[in-house]
């Protein structure tokens, strides 16, 4: 400040002398006015410079504090980004890599450089071609429309040959003007939970003792097959089977032997039926077979062949015990638009008739009186 005042005093002394030396007395007044204006301007500039200097001294600590806070926040963001248990991939609007984290490289078995060299790493690793096409369409939509994806599950095969299931979330990134700047991908490895879910679903649909379908799974297949039968006009036959005198077998040999017999019988059902036939255990010693593309007469022939195989071979256990096994069966052919309860009732009536007629028999449903339609084996 003292320096600026000295400058003003010096200028006020110099300018008048120069002006009086080079000008006539008549022109001294305008020169002194110009000098005064210059002095005022210099004073204002000096004052402004002083104010700016003072403001800079005040702002500098705040600026340093803000920069330090910004750096700390950036470090924290990097720490969160790299320590995230979810894989993160950020791409620009041309699908060029902006940033990724270590978790994603572990999930995909790809290095950051390898991820950078491909525009669509998630798409390239997807196993199913149909899913790959659908996901590719979604990515293209995200590049043109601000949308988000939620809970898209993909099966991938990594470069190391590992099969994994991932859950993908995608979010279009917009600037202040709502222009698309890129895509944020969040990738979660759900392999373990997916396998667990499949195992639980299988358990809920499978008889734990025999490995056959349970009634719930059988009913799902029933609905599928009836829809197909309506569309293509082909027959379906239901066969109900019941092991003869199974209670006596349990009483004599024990339930652990009875369980082995049930498992053996389930194996025989699958061995002597077609892959397209649907075998299930309804409970206890009660079994069912759904025969697509099979009318009642052909179904009766299938039941007789199975009955003959079972009664001739018997159940040979590892303990050396041999148990003679027979079963009774009732069959009914599905009628168009007939509910399962009605079909089951007709097949069950035929089964009841077979048991009443002496067991070890195959009976087919007939309208009116029930009559034995097949020979008896092993009596």
Q: At 110, which CATH number?
A: 3.30.450.20
User: Going by C-beta distance under 8 Å and a sequence separation of 6 or more, which residues neighbour residue 329?
Assistant: 239, 240, 241, 242, 303, 307, 351, 354, 361, 362, 363
Residue 193 has pLDDT above 50, yes or no: yes
Query: 7 and 152 in one domain?
Result: no
Provide the 8-state DSSP code for 314: -
Residue 20 has pLDDT above 60, yes or no: no
Query: 166 and 22 in one domain?
Result: no
From the number of C-beta atoms within 10 Å of its C-beta (0-12, 13-18, 19+), residue 102 rates as: middle
Would 372 be classed as within a structural domain? no
pLDDT at position 51 is 82
Would 92 be classed as within a structural domain? yes
Q: Into how many domains does the chain fold?
A: 3
Query: 110 and 56 in one domain?
Result: no
Query: 355 and 213 in one domain?
Result: yes
What's the token pair of residue 280?
Answer: 């299930």
Q: Sign of dihedral through CA atoms 342, 346, 352, 355?
A: negative
Instruction: Give the end of a domain, one of 195, 230, 256.
Output: 195
Instruction: Give the end of a domain, one of 49, 78, 107.
Output: 78
pLDDT at position 23 is 46
Average pLDDT over residues 27-52: 75
Query: 169 and 250 in one domain?
Result: no
Would 221 be classed as within a structural domain? yes
pLDDT at position 127 is 93
Query: 214 and 179 in one domain?
Result: no
Name the pTM for this structure.
0.64
Return d(Cα 69, Cα 74) in angstroms, integer. Answer: 8
pLDDT at position 18 is 45
Query: 254 and 112 in one domain?
Result: no
Q: At 351, which CATH number?
A: 3.30.70.270
User: Going by C-beta distance under 8 Å and a sequence separation of 6 or more, which residues neighbour residue 39?
Assistant: 8, 11, 12
Would 305 be classed as within a structural domain? yes
Average pLDDT over residues 253-274: 95
Would 22 be classed as within a structural domain? yes
Q: Sign of dihedral through CA atoms 83, 86, 87, 92?
A: negative
Least confident range from 15-24, 89-98, 314-323: namely 15-24
Instruction: Give the range of the structural domain holding residue 53, as residue numbers without chain letter.
Output: 2-78
Residue 90, strand partner residues: 99, 184
Q: Is 40 left (phi over 0), alpha (psi -120 to 50) or beta?
A: alpha
First to last CA, the chain: 127
Would 374 be classed as within a structural domain? no
Smallest CA-to-CA distance from 296 within 373, 243, 377 is with: 373
Query: 106 and 51 in one domain?
Result: no
Return d(Cα 156, Cα 87) in angstroms, integer. Answer: 14
pLDDT at position 373 is 43
Per-chain mean pLDDT for the chain = 86
Between β-strands 327-333 and 322-323, what pairing exists: parallel, antiparallel or unpaired? unpaired
Instruction: Give the end of a domain, one of 78, 97, 120.
Output: 78
Chain segment 135-180, per-residue pLDDT in tens: 999 999 999 888 888 889 999 999 999 999 999 999 999 998 899 9
Return d(Cα 56, Cα 213) in angstroms, integer. Answer: 81
Chain segment 118-134, per-residue pLDDT in tens: 888 998 999 999 999 99
Query: 48 and 10 in one domain?
Result: yes
Query: 98 and 183 in one domain?
Result: yes
pLDDT at position 277 is 96
Would 290 be classed as within a structural domain? yes
Query: 103 and 8 in one domain?
Result: no
Rg (CA), the chain: 44
CA dihedral 221, 222, 225, 229 (to 10 degrees): 180
pLDDT band (50, 70, 90) for residue 92: very high
From the number of C-beta atoms within 10 Å of its C-beta (0-12, 13-18, 19+), residue 269 rates as: buried
Would 203 be classed as within a structural domain? no
Residue 333 has pLDDT above 90, yes or no: yes
Residue 275 has pLDDT above 50, yes or no: yes
Query: 327 and 236 in one domain?
Result: yes
Cβ contact 331:340 at 8 Å: no
């Amino acid at each position: 400040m003292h320096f600026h005042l000295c400058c003003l005093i010096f200028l006020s002394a110099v300018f008048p002398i120069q002006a009086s030396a080079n000008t006539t007395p008549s022109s001294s007044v305008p020169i002194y006015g110009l000098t005064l204006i210059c002095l005022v301007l210099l004073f204002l500039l000096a004052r402004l410079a002083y104010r700016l200097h003072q403001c800079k001294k005040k702002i500098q600590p705040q600026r340093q504090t803000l920069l330090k806070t910004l750096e700390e926040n950036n470090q924290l963001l990097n720490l969160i980004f790299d320590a995230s248990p979810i894989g993160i991939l950020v791409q620009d609007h041309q699908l060029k890599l902006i940033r990724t984290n270590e978790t994603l490289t572990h999930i995909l078995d790809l290095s950051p450089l390898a991820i950078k060299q491909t525009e669509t790493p998630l798409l390239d690793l997807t196993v199913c071609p149909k899913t790959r096409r659908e996901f590719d369409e979604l990515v293209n939509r995200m590049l043109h429309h601000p949308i988000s994806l939620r809970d898209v599950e993909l099966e991938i095969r990594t470069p190391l040959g590992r099969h994994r299931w991932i859950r993908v979330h995608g979010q279009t990134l917009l600037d202040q003007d709502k222009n698309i700047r890129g895509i944020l991908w969040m990738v979660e490895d759900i392999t373990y939970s997916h396998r667990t879910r499949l195992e639980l679903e299988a358990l809920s649909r499978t008889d734990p003792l025999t490995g056959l379908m349970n009634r719930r799974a059988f009913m799902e297949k029933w609905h599928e097959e009836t829809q197909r039968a309506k569309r293509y006009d082909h027959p379906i036959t239901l066969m109900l089977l019941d092991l003869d005198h199974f209670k006596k077998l349990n009483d004599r040999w024990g339930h652990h032997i009875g369980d082995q017999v049930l498992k053996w019988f389930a194996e025989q059902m699958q061995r002597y039926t077609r892959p397209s036939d649907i075998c299930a255990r309804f409970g206890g010693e009660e079994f069912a077979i759904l025969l697509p593309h099979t009318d009642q007469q052909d179904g009766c022939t299938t039941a007789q062949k199975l009955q003959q195989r079972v009664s001739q071979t018997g159940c040979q256990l590892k303990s050396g015990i041999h148990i003679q096994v027979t079963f009774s069966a009732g069959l009914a052919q599905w009628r168009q638009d007939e509910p399962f309860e009605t079909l089951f009732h007709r097949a069950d009536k035929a089964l009841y008739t077979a048991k009443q007629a002496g067991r070890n028999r195959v009976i087919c449903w007939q309208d009116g009186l029930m009559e034995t339609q097949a020979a008896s084996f092993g009596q």
